[in-house]
Structure 1
Amino acid sequence: MARIAIIGGGPAGLMAAEAASAQGVAVTVFEAMPTAGRKLLMAGKSGLNITHAEDGASFDARYGGARARLQAALDAFPAQTVRDWCTGLGVETFVGSSGRVFPKAMKASPLLRAWLGRLAERGVVLETRHRWIGFDGDSLAFDTPNGQSCERFDAVVLALGGASWPELGSDAAWVPWLAERDVLVAPFRPANCGFEVAWSPPFIERFAGEPVKSVVASSDAGSIQGEFVVSRDGIEGSLVYAHAASLRDRLEAAGRAVLTLDLAPGRTAEKLARDLARQPAKASFSNRLRKATGLDGVKLALLRELVPDISSRPPDEIALYIKALPLPVLPPRPIGKAISVAGGVAWEGVTDDFMLRALPGTFVCGEMLDWEAPTGGYLLTACLATGRAAGLAAARYAGAKFPSWGQESNDEQD
């Protein structure tokens, strides 16, 4: 029987194991951590956004320049199929108001337990605390609780993740081992990340941790409505993540980037100016602003922080700043704290079925590959889709070495 190794027990690796094992090959998953799926469980703390319910064309466009290379995998495992797969594991899902899809239990643990149970029933072996440490000739070398070991397999799927949240297992330690085998790896960069801002100490002391709700933020990525959070270091949250790639690229290209905030969506600058002009001149600035615009708290503080002399400006200028407040951002927060990364194994070194050209029989999937997408279920969907594609391709490759494999596999599928 053909033997396949899956290196990495995250969503991409577990899906590769599921796909390969269904083809009648022997599968072993090697995971460096004490348990599998740790990043999946971390994502589940905020509800586990599995996928997104928007139309297929809009969904696929979220992958930007990597869309063409991901398209076949996404077509074979689209959002509705992801939901059906969850249902097959006994996990019902629902579509939230934003179109994001979540388990009804709003947790990852039931899905992961059911998934690992299914893999065990199929004979998949899970070896935890087995850290891959590179190649030893044609063998894979591991650090294990019983010392170092080397094993050979008929095909290998690498699903080691990128460089975000290294404490959960994605530490990019694999980069030099692949580079030594002539695999080109694009440098990792943070994606879906927060950005540093040079807040004043008084602003930090009073407003760190405060959410800024119902604003429209604009950058090269467009204008998007949502909310973000003021942190001691800068800004975080879903609205910031939606602009992260644009802000990061602008910083790299020009050395500076600005996120422009509309603090009063739905109201024109002209109306805000008229309402401000009607306020008594003797009233305090905060009272004038609150009564004319409804802004107070952290939104008022942002105006004062970013335009120190805002209170002395005429109503029409104040209104313009309310509608287009420039928020200069500094470099992204450390890559280890990013939700996801850009960069990874370069596409020119990967075949259409996710095999490394420099290492025949070795396949890659998930965040190891050079792609990025916004939050909203797109990250997990692509990890599952590429894991499935790589697992199927690895099974085909390994099974081709065994003359009877194809017939056995077809019989099993029937």
Structure 2
Amino acid sequence: MSTAPVQVDVLVVGAGPAGLMAADVVSKAGHSVLIAEAKPSPARKFLMAGKSGLNLTKNEPLDAFLRAYAPLPPNFRTALESFGPQEAIAWAQALGQEMFTGSTGRVFPTVMKASPLLRAWLARLEAQGAELRQNWRMDALGNTVHFDTLEGSREVAAKRVILALGGASWARLGSNGAWVETVSPYADLAPFAPSNVGIMVDWSSHMTRHFGHPVKGVILRAGAYESRGEFVISETGLEGGGIYSVTRGLRKGAPLVLDLLPDWSEDKLKQTLIQRKSKETLTKFLKRVLRLTPEKTALVMEFAGPKPDDLITALKALEIKNIKFRPMDEAISTAGGVTFESLTDHLEAIAKPGLFFAGEMLDWDAPTGGYLLTACLATGRLAGLGALRSLS
């Protein structure tokens, strides 16, 4: 016997930050909401992010905040201008979470965990009447939405549908990009590409002793993208926030260039190099006069050789050669997905009115540091508001 379709005002598919925010907006307004999640529990990637402190947002002026997402389509800009750093902080505080801003402007819950915030959020959604269905995997999208569940096939007839299915990394947590074929009839898609991901380097044997060691106080450049930060030398290559911040430039084919002495001008460096004694090894000189760490010295030797033709360039513009990205599934986030140009101002599919998109399945990119989570929340909110607007 076939089961009659579940009737609901708004169906949200995907229970990550974007989907939960969309459901929050709609259910708060009094509409019936069903949240369908493919995994046995919601917000798995959100909880994983919380293991390192849950960097919710970046507390900085809005203009600087928006620059992290450039280029910025108008509808994406609208989402972020309406829900930026201050709104994200206020939202978390309204859920009972005390927040603090670190020395770099990154904002975290005082408890440094995601789970208390998520529990409070899910409790609010339940109080507002939103229903969460777990182990519901969408397998067809049309006039109704079909799901494969532990109890068999289920069908949902919704007045509005909001998809927040994640990007194409961390498949074990639910984001695998498998929705592309299902969604492609209704929106234009850009190919997925890794973002905020480590790079692979084929090291020589002398680098082994430096594996696991950080490199701090460096400016990294890749085309138009620049970051002052740090990274870690790993067995397979380079990892860390400094690398992640220039992923977009590397993806466009720009070389990775390091300024190992960002506080030294070239003129000052030229004058200092004169002090090198004739019989002094380069390694000893770099340590004695320039205070270069063993890791920085090792990078110079690896990519410029033991006797660089141009030591100033080796120190101020060291090119890291023959690099490749780690596999996309290891990326913290991905670019690509549903294009903003195929959506309205409220993230509704132009080709299929009543269908909205949010979160990492949209084609946007930003570095780590609070930008990723805020954008997921902001686009989820805008999609939710769009669904409300079209229902009224």
TM-score of the superposed pair, with normalisation by structure 1: 0.89
Structure 2 distance, partners of 1:321, 1:308, is 9
Q: Specify the alignment match of 1:254 in structure 2.
A: none
5 Å-filtered alignment, 1:14-413, equals 14-135=20-141, 137-179=142-184, 181-203=185-207, 205-250=208-253, 257-310=254-307, 317-397=310-390, 399-400=391-392
Once the two structures are superposed, what CA deviation does each residue of 1:360-395 show, in whole Å capped at 9, x if it has no partner?
Answer: 211111111111112221111111111011112223
Distance 1:275 1:93 in 2: 46
Shift of 1:223: 3.9
Query: By how many angstroms is 1:305 displaced?
Result: 0.7
Runs of at least 5 residues in structure 2 that lack an aligned partner in the other structure:
1-6
Task: Tell me which residue corresponds to 1:403.
Answer: none
Please state whether the residue corresponding to 1:85 is helix, strand or coil. Answer: helix
Say which SS state the counterpart of residue 171 (structure 1) adopts: coil
**What is the deviation of 1:273?**
4.1
4+ runs deviating over 4 angstroms: none
Once the 2 structures are TM-superposed, how far is the Cα of residue 208 of structure 1 from its aligned partner?
Answer: 2.1
Contact 1:8 1:32 in 2 (8 A): yes
Equivalent residue letter for 1:189: A
Task: For residue 182 of structure 1, report the CA deviation from its aligned partner.
Answer: 4.2
Distance in 1 (CA, whole Å) between partners of 2:343 and 2:55 is 28
Cα-to-partner distance string for 1:151-183 (whole Å, 9 max, x where unaligned): 21111100001101111111111100112x242
The one-letter code of the counterpart of 2:243 is V
| Alpha-carbon distance, 1:35 to partner | 0.9
- Name the CA distance, whole Å, in 2 between partners of 1:290 and 1:69: 51
Given that residues 303 and 310 in structure 1 are in contact (C-alpha distance below 8 angstroms), is that contact kept between their aligned partners in structure 2?
Answer: no
Superposed CA RMSD: 1.8
Q: CA deviation at 1:191?
A: 1.4
Matched length: 386
Q: Please tell me the residue identity of whatever aligns with 2:25.
A: A
Equivalent-residue separation in structure 2 for 1:90 and 1:182 (angstroms)? 39
Instruction: Give the partner amino acid of 1:365.
Output: A
Kindly, what percent of the aligned residue pairs are identical?
Answer: 44
Query: Per-residue CA shift, 1:97-142, capped at 9, x if unaligned?
Result: 111111111111111111111111111111111111122x522111
Asked whether the 8 Å contact 1:272–1:292 carries over to 2, the reply is no
In 1, the alpha carbon distance for the partners of 2:348 and 2:275 equals 68
Q: Secondary structure at the match of 2:246?
A: helix
**Cα distance in 2 between the residues matched to 1:230 and 1:381:** 29
- CA deviations on 1:251-283 (whole Å, 9 max, x unpaired) are xxxxxx422111122123343344343343333
AA partner of residue 16 (structure 1):
A
The question of whether the paired residues in 2 share the 8 Å contact of 1:218 and 1:224 is answered with: yes
Residue identity matched to 2:72: A
Determine helix, strand or coil for the equivalent of 1:344: strand
Following the alignment from structure 2 to structure 1, what is the Cα–Cα distance between the partners of residues 8 and 152?
Answer: 26
* 1:83-105 CA-partner distances (Å, limit 9, x unpaired): 11111111011111111111111
Instruction: Give the letter for the 1:355 counterpart.
Output: E
Contact 1:276–1:289 (Cα < 8 Å) also in 2: no
SS of aligned partner of 2:335: strand
- Counterparts of 2:271 and 2:379 in 1: how far apart (Å)? 55
**CA 1:367–1:301 in 2, change beyond 3 Å: closer, same or farther?**
same
What TM-score comes out, normalization by structure 2 length?
0.93
Unpaired runs of 5+ in structure 1? 251-256, 401-414
Contact 2:76 2:340 in 1 (8 A): no
Counterpart CA distance in 2 for 1:62 and 1:268 is 27
Q: Contact (CA 8 Å) 2:8, 2:157: kept in 1 or not?
A: no
Q: What is aligned with 1:410? A: none
Asked if structure 2 preserves the Cα contact closer than 8 Å seen for 1:269 and 1:320, the reply is no
Separation (CA, whole Å) in 2 of partners of 1:154 and 1:198: 54
